[in-house]
Amino acid sequence: MWPARLSGKQRQGQLWEQKARDYLQIQGLRLVQANYRCRGGEIDLIMRHGDELVFVEVRQRASRSHGGAAASITPAKIGRMVRAAQTYLLRFPQVPPCRFDVVAIDGERMEWLRNAIQL
């Protein structure tokens, strides 16, 4: 069950993240951690895809009328994701191959954008 402190919008976000996680697992990715948070930022999903560690941002919009879900990722959001990924990677003695993916959900349409954020 959802913690009582989550707003309706946060609960809805959790549901979309679960749908994205299920979709990615069907595609062969394996969940490492969901909702990783640190002082510098947060990452919705951390998954493994073969040898790669994949940091996934899940974005949902009701429609594409204002640019869509993928277009809603701002440079500030990317910066927070990168800082969170850097913090997460401190636990590894050797950094594994990594990439940043986006699961963009516009209405009921889900699109997996591999390597969507280039550093």
Give the H/E segment covering residue 96. none
Q: What is the structure's pLDDT at 15?
A: 86
Domain of residue 88 covers 8-113
Count of Cβ atoms closer than 10 Å to residue 30 Cβ: 11
Residue-wise pLDDT tens digits, 25-81: 999 999 999 999 999 899 999 999 999 999 999 988 765 666 678 777 888 989 999
Structure tokens at 94: 């050797």
For the domain that residue 84 is a member of, what is the CATH number? 3.40.1350.10
The pTM (predicted TM-score) of the whole model is 0.86
Decide if 1 is inside a domain: no
Give the H/E segment covering residue 45. strand 41-49
Q: What is the structure's pLDDT at 108?
A: 82
Q: What is the structure's pLDDT at 85?
A: 96
CA distance 66 to 56: 22
Q: What is the structure's pLDDT at 31?
A: 98
Structure tokens at 90: 């401190």
Q: What is the structure's pLDDT at 2?
A: 47
Decide if 19 is inside a domain: yes
Give the H/E segment covering residue 118. none
Place of tokens 């919008």: 9
Amino acid at 66: H
Contact 20, 70 (CB under 8 A): no
Decide if 2 is inside a domain: no
Amino acid at 20: A
Domain count, the chain: 1
